[in-house]
Amino acid sequence: MPVTPLFRDDFYLSTAEGTVTAVHDDGSIELDQTCFYATSGGQPGDSGFLERADGSRIELGVTTNGADKSIILHRPLDGQARPEIGEKLVLHIDWARRYKLMRMHTACHILSVVCQFPITGAAVGEDESRVDFDMSETIDKDEVTAKMMEIVAANHPIYLQWITDEELAANPGIVKSKNVRPPIGLGRVSLVCIGENAAIDSQPCGGTHVSETQEVGEIHIAKIEKKGKENRRFRIKFGKPEA
Ligand SMILES: [Zn+2]
């Protein structure tokens, strides 16, 4: 059953109520609405738990999509209770983990502003993220870190702007990813904008992000690896660069 994705309109929604609409043979649970983000676009899905009326918990692993993006599967860990269809639950995201993923995901956008080459891949993690660029240039990681931290410190606003699939098709230049398709097919696409009037950046993306660049906090490029002649892999970590 199609789900109402509450995280679309509020990245900071850490709890919500939902009603069970399906329980699959493998135990995965569908709800009428959810604040759980499902793995996509390089960002891992949320984990957390579902709280039943008696206060007991159904602990969840990483949330994924079903056959398409309109289906979100909440995945109980082994040995968890099975809820009933129609049962009302309170949904709790592992917020500490999700917030780190939001900060890291936003850091990836900031890196793409500093390093303006086509992106060939990206993976957001709680402790480390990586972004691959189609580039042959050698670039100093400390210089990249300094430019990223300038954008963080300037505390630019980050917000979504919605455009239609047709508008996106008419402006292919705004897509920085070479291999990752923007989140089209739902009739509208969210552009993640950084800075007043998107002065710093705008990029189609369906993930979750913080609302001001300062929230990203201290980050640095830990490593730039050469992956083939025209591919460079940047690894982003939290904290100050190691001396
Ligand atoms: Zn994004």
pLDDT in tens, 143-192: 999 999 999 999 999 999 998 888 888 887 777 776 556 666 667 888 99
Query: Both 82 and 156 in a single domain?
Result: no
Residue 8 identity (one-letter amino acid): R
In this structure, the number of other CB atoms found within 10 A of the CB of residue 196 comes to 10
Domain boundary residue among 46, 68, 93?
93
pLDDT in tens, 4-41: 999 988 999 999 999 999 999 999 999 999 999 999 98
Query: Both 136 and 204 in a single domain?
Result: yes
Measured in Å, residue 207 CA sits from the centre of ligand 1 at 5
Query: Both 145 and 190 in a single domain?
Result: yes
Query: Both 65 and 138 in a single domain?
Result: no
Domain boundary residue among 39, 67, 93?
93
- What CATH number should be reported for the domain holding residue 62? 2.40.30.130
Domain boundary residue among 76, 93, 110?
93
The Cα 140–Cα 138 span in angstroms is: 7
Query: Both 34 and 117 in a single domain?
Result: no
Measured in Å, residue 124 CA sits from the centre of ligand 1 at 10
Measured in Å, residue 147 CA sits from the centre of ligand 1 at 19
Measured in Å, residue 43 CA sits from the centre of ligand 1 at 8
Instruction: Indicate the number of domains in the chain.
Output: 2
User: Is 20 inside any structural domain?
Assistant: yes
CA diameter of the chain: 59
- What CATH number should be reported for the domain holding residue 204? 3.30.980.10
pLDDT in tens, 205-226: 999 999 999 999 999 999 999 9
Domain span holding position 139: 97-238
Measured in Å, residue 32 CA sits from the centre of ligand 1 at 25
Question: How much is the pTM?
Answer: 0.93
Q: Which residues contact 167 (CB under 8 A, 6 or more apart)?
A: 189
Measured in Å, residue 226 CA sits from the centre of ligand 1 at 24
